[in-house]
């Protein structure tokens, strides 16, 4: 059973890295990308992925706002925030807005795996 | 993870952000209150930090992090942007650029990062102290409260089931308070939280010593709780104790004024939701791929013309229809690919304001740079070749052209002085004008200097027109070494500008009025590889001349030739221009003249209009030009090859350097 992933980050560079991480994890397939919060919500509605990785600081709409909006659409949305160092308070805000967990850059593949597994075990 | 394959992308994106940051700082210098620019600058620093951290480039990550912090304080209104701040920011951007370059070359940059970091932090500290104001605090007072849905009570009977849990977060967690926060949230689902230390508010403010204590009233078994908590990750130790009877305490952890930086504005513009138009679908593609497309299309064009050539003698309706269709398809493909290769001039001009600012400061001159036509597009390979020539021309304006402020005032010339860059397009040519309102050039002075440097004889000087004298600055050796080092330390003179522009099929025009200013115009073709050429014959050879270099073609009658000191002249629009022979230029044997007419191609060389006599004008063709390889590219007068429909390879002439 393959889990579908939506990758959201305004840097193409980061999106590629995250895609590659999922590429090396069996059972996952990245089905969409978005580069800002507005696009993230659109893509979520279109794809209804099993998992969303969400950057925090983005143009047009932040990851926190997007997480809030997506969680309003779908309470079960599994959003994992991707934060840089020093953004703890933002991460916590995102968690309040509906994110289920977070990973900190630079990523380690094992860490991503651990967080993703945990989040996907959460049932409605 | 193997990071090396991301290096290319990192470099491209980091440089885009840095170019953006440069623009933004300059804009903020003019408008320090512009919120949008402050936000954008914050985001750009943040992006670079994120990418650098992922790649393990710690110096870049640290420096950009500090710049991000500085921008954050501007965003929150804790400090305002002063000239000192923009200087520091520009220093930071420059340092980042050098660090990124060092990454590209796998070398170390000689940058004092700790020193720069101190400077950045120092600005903030001194500003906060000087203004005497505390950072804007949006912190709520911190009291220990249970969740709203739980009743607030002061005491709980000891008999209630529950635990006093002590959770230690692993010291190498990158975000310990966020992790603790997440754990707390999870625990809440399993019971009623009576008390937490630190409080949730303190946790959110980042005041987290590493250990979270939770008093929870719950029916869940310890084992299950333990499993759930450990599953949240990053828990180094976990202790369970019984709930005590102690009454609530309300420790106040709000230590007067110092906030942990609870950020309400998470970096996005508040309030507006922009209307969602159709989202653009774009891709980033490797430049090598674009070159491949152009080459392949060129081959298609060559093959297509060979098919046409062969089909001439075959009468088949279907063949002709097929070929016409092929023509259309290839032409459409070509148009699309060429348009992808087009880049706006902005991509090179965007760094000019900074260059002008720095140079003007260094020379002590007041200069305003005005750029027009930045959205005019050129083939990217032309754009690449233009950067240094244009900067050199700007330097000339600033170093030699523009007078110092006192002199200008004495002459009653306006201050600040102006340097203009104007790009415009006419049909299939682009004009880029670099001009200034400075001293201008005096042809007589130029001639004297050239004679002194031994570049021309006094006789040549006296015969030279004013226009030709201006072109003396393009002669190799005209600029002395001391005037001529450019920003990257290599010598560059106007001759290098000419050498950069002409092989592309471009040309230079120079205009100047002493006392008023100088204008140098670059004329460039829109595309490089596939251009319209005029085919001419100097039997048995055929040559191609870029149409962009041809002023006119004409048929001159033998009897209309004028002779003067062994040089032939013909009349061109009322002026006598010298007539040269292509055969002679290429040292081909003369042929007996059959007809009474001579075919002439009129062109401009080094500021002079000349006619070049050829045996025959064959016609105009669309040609795919391939550059010359070594050592053939050293031959003066030719700058490429193309293949004709009949399969023959011919040379493209570099008219500017034929003579």
User: Which three-class secondary structure string do you get for B296-308?
Assistant: HHHHHHHHHHHHH
Residue A2 to chain B, least CA–CA distance (Å): 23
Judge whether A93 and B266 are in contact, CB under 8 Å: yes
- How does DSSP assign B503-546, residue by residue? GGT-EEEEEEETTTEEEEEEEEES-SSEEEEEEEEETTEEEEEE
Q: Which residue is closest to B36 within chain A, CA to CA?
A: A59
Length of chain B measured in residues: 659
CA distance B43 to chain A (A): 7
Q: Reply yes or no on whether the pLDDT at A68 is more than 90.
A: yes
Q: Which of A84, A85, A87, A124 to mutate to test the interface with B (most CBs of B within 10 A)?
A: A84
Contact assignment for B273 to A95 by CB distance below 8 Å: no
Question: Are the beta carbons of B268 and A61 separated by less than 8 Å?
Answer: yes
Contact B470, B510 (CB under 8 A): yes
Q: What's the CA gap between B70 and B89, in Å, rounded?
A: 9
Question: What does the CA dihedral B549, B551, B553, B556 come to, rounded to 10 degrees?
Answer: -120
Q: Say which residue, A30 or B1, is predicted with more confidence.
A: A30
How many residues are listed for chain A in this entry? 124
Would you call A92 an interface residue with chain B, using a CB distance cutoff of 8 Å?
A: yes
- The encoded tokens of residue A108 equal 């380690």
pTM of the model: 0.49
Tokens 């081909």 belong to B588
Distance CA B645, CA B301 (A): 9
HEC assignment per residue over A20-56: HHHHCCCCEEEEEEECCHHHHHHHHHHHCCCEEEEEC
Q: Tell me which chain B residues have a C-beta less than 8 angstroms from the C-beta of A109.
A: 1
Q: How far B175 CA sits from the closest chain A CA (Å)?
A: 6
Q: CB of A21 within 8 Å of any CB in chain B?
A: yes
Kindly state the tokens that stand for A25. 């994890």
> Which of A10, A89, A101 comes nearest B206 by C-beta?
A89
Interface contact flag, A92 B65, Cβ < 8 Å: no
**Residue B386: its H or E element:** helix B380-396
A58 at the B interface (CB within 8 A)?
A: yes
Summarize chain A as % helix, strand, coil (round to 5): 45, 20, 30
Tokens of B109: 């940059």
Q: Does A46 touch chain B (CB under 8 A)?
A: no
Between chains, do B268 and A62 touch, taking CB under 8 Å as contact?
yes
* Amino acid B269: pLDDT: 39
User: Are B514 and B441 within 8 A, CB to CB?
Assistant: yes
**Helix (H) or strand (E) segment spanning residue B563:** strand B562-564
Determine the average pLDDT of the residues in A1-27: 89
Q: What kind and span of H or E run contains B334?
A: helix B317-341
CA distance A68 to A84: 20
Q: Determine phi and psi for B482, rounding to 5 degrees.
A: -70, -25
Nearest residue to B396 (alpha-carbon basis) of B520, B521, B523, B524: B520
Cα B640 from chain centre: 28
Tokens of B541: 């050879």
Collapsing DSSP states into helix, strand and coil, what is residue B464? coil
Long-range contacts of A97-104 (CB under 8 A, 24+ apart): A97/A64, A97/A65, A97/A67, A97/A68, A97/A71, A98/A67, A98/A68, A98/A70, A98/A71, A98/A72, A99/A54, A99/A67, A101/B182, A102/B175, A102/B178, A102/B182, A103/A53, A104/B174, A104/B175
For B272-289, b/e burial (b = at least 16 CB within 10 A) is: eeeeeeeeeeeeeeeeee
* Crossing angle between the packed helical segments A88-97 and A63-73, to the nearest 10 degrees: 20
Cα–Cα nearest to B546, from B536, B534, B564: B534
pLDDT at B264: 34
Catalytic residue among B22, B37, B254, B396: B396
- Considering only CB atoms, A57 lies closest to which of B53, B56, B267, namely B267
Structure tokens, B49: 């930090």
Annotation marks residue B633 as catalytic: no
pLDDT at B284: 72
Kindly state the helix (H) or strand (E) to which residue B610 belongs, with its residue range.
strand B608-614
10-residue mean pLDDT series, chain B (659 residues): 73 89 90 87 89 86 91 85 88 92 83 85 65 40 38 42 88 88 90 87 83 88 88 88 54 33 35 47 74 83 82 85 87 83 84 87 89 84 81 86 90 90 84 92 87 86 87 76 43 73 82 91 80 88 89 86 87 89 89 79 86 90 78 81 82 85
- Whose structure tokens read 């090598």? B288
Q: What percent of chain A has pLDDT over 90?
A: 59
Which residues are paired to B162 by β-bridges? B217
How many other C-beta atoms are found inside a 10 Å radius of the C-beta of residue B184? 21
CA distance B626 to B628: 7
Q: A124 in contact with B at a CB cutoff of 8 Å?
A: no
Which residue is listed with tokens 């003369």? B590
Q: Is B377 left (phi over 0), alpha (psi -120 to 50) or beta?
A: beta
User: What whole-number distance in Å separates Cα of residue B356 and Cα of residue B393?
Assistant: 11
Cα–Cα dist B339/B183, whole Å = 54
Interatomic CA distance for residues B641 and B646, integer angstroms: 14
Top residue of B10, B70, B103, B175 to mutate, by most chain A CBs within 10 Å, is B175
Rounded distance between C-alpha atoms, residue A18 and residue A107, angstroms: 8
Per-residue exposure over B608-622, b if at least 16 CB sit within 10 Å of its own CB, e if not:
ebbbbbbbebbeebe
The single-letter DSSP state of residue B191 is S
Q: How far is A26 from chain B (nearest CA, A)?
A: 16
Q: Are B178 and A88 a contacting pair at CB < 8 A? A: yes
With contacts defined as CB-CB under 8 Å, which chain A residues touch B47?
10-11, 57
Among A12, A58, A109, select the one facing B9 at the smallest CB separation: A12
Q: How many CB atoms lie within 10 A of CB B271?
A: 5
B629 vs A86, B93, B466, B641, CA distance in Å? 53, 39, 38, 10
The verdict on A44 touching B (C-beta cutoff 8 Å) is no
Active-site annotation holds for B46: yes
Q: How many CB pairs under 8 A join A and B?
A: 118
């Amino acid at each position: 059973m393959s889990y579908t992933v939506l990758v959201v980050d305004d840097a193409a560079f980061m999106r590629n890295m995250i895609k590659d991480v999922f590429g090396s994890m069996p059972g996952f397939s990245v089905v969409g990308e978005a580069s800002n919060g507005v696009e993230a919500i659109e893509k979520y509605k279109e794809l209804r992925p099993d998992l969303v990785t969400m950057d925090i600081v983005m143009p047009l709409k932040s990851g926190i706002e997007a997480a809030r909006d997506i969680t309003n659409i779908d309470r079960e949305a599994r959003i994992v925030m991707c934060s840089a160092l020093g953004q703890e308070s933002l991460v916590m805000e995102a968690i309040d807005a509906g994110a289920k967990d977070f990973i900190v850059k630079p990523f380690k593949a094992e860490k991503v795996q651990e967080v993703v597994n945990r989040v996907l075990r959460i049932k409605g | 993870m193997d990071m090396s394959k991301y290096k290319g992308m990192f470099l491209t994106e980091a440089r885009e952000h840095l170019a953006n940051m440069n623009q933004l700082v300059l804009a903020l210098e003019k408008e320090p209150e512009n919120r949008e620019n402050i936000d954008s600058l914050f985001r750009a620093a943040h992006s670079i930090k994120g990418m650098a951290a992922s790649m393990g480039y710690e110096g870049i990550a640290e420096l950009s992090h500090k710049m991000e912090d500085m921008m954050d304080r501007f965003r929150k209104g804790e400090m305002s942007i002063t000239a000192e701040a923009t200087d520091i920011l520009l220093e930071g951007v420059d340092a980042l650029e050098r660090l990124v370059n060092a990454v590209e070359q796998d070398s170390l940059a000689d940058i004092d990062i700790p020193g720069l970091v101190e400077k950045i932090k120092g600005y903030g500290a001194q500003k906060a102290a000087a203004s005497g104001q505390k950072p804007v605090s949006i912190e709520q007072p911190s009291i220990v409260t249970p969740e709203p849905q739980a009743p607030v009570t002061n005491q709980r009977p000891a008999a209630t089931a529950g635990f006093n849990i002590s959770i230690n977060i692993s010291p190498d967690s990158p975000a310990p308070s966020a992790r603790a926060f997440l754990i707390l949230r999870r625990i809440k689902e399993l019971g009623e939280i009576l008390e937490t230390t630190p409080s949730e508010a303190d946790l959110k403010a980042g005041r987290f010593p590493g250990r979270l204590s939770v008093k929870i009233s719950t029916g869940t078994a310890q084992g299950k709780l333990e499993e759930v908590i450990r599953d949240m990750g990053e828990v180094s130790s976990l202790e369970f104790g019984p709930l005590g009877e102690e009454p609530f305490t309300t420790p106040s952890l709000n230590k007067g004024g110092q906030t942990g930086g609870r950020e309400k504005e998470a970096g996005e513009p508040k309030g507006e939701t922009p209307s969602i138009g159709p989202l653009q679908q774009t891709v980033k593609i490797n430049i090598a791929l674009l070159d491949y497309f152009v080459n392949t299309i060129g081959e298609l064009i060559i093959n297509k013309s060979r098919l046409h050539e062969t089909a001439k003698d075959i009468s088949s309706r279907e063949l002709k229809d097929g070929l016409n269709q092929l023509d259309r398809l290839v032409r459409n493909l070509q148009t699309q690919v060429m348009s992808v290769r087009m880049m706006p001039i902005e991509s090179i001009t965007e760094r000019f304001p900074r260059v002008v600012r720095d140079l003007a400061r260094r020379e002590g001159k007041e200069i305003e740079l005005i750029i027009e036509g930045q959205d005019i597009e050129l083939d990217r390979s032309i754009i690449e070749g233009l950067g240094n020539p244009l900067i050199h021309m700007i330097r000339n304006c600033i170093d030699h052209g523009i007078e110092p402020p006192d002199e200008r005032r004495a002459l009653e010339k306006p201050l600040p002085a102006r340097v203009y860059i104007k790009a415009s397009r006419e049909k299939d040519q682009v004009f880029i004008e670099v001009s200034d309102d400075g001293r201008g050039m005096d042809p007589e002075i130029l001639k004297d200097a050239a004679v002194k440097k031994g570049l021309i004889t006094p006789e040549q000087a006296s015969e030279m027109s004013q226009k030709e004298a201006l072109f003396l600055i393009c002669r190799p050796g005209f600029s002395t070494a001391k005037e001529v080092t450019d920003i990257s330390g290599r010598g560059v003179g106007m001759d290098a500008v000419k050498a950069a522009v002409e092989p592309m099929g471009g040309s230079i025009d120079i205009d100047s009025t002493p006392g008023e200013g100088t204008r140098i115009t670059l004329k460039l073709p829109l595309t490089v590889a596939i251009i319209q050429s005029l085919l001419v014959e100097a039997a048995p050879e055929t040559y191609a001349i870029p149409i962009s270099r041809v002023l006119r073609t004409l048929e001159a009658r033998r009897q209309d030739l004028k002779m003067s000191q062994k040089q032939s002249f013909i009349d061109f629009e009322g002026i006598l221009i010298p007539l040269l022979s292509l055969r002679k230029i290429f040292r081909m044997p003369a042929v007996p003249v059959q007809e009474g007419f001579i075919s002439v191609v009129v062109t401009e060389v080094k500021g002079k209009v000349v006619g070049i006599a050829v045996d025959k004008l064959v016609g105009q063709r669309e040609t795919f030009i391939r550059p010359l390889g070594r050592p053939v590219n050293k031959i003066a007068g030719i700058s490429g090859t193309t293949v004709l429909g009949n399969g023959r390879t011919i040379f493209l002439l570099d008219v500017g350097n034929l003579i």
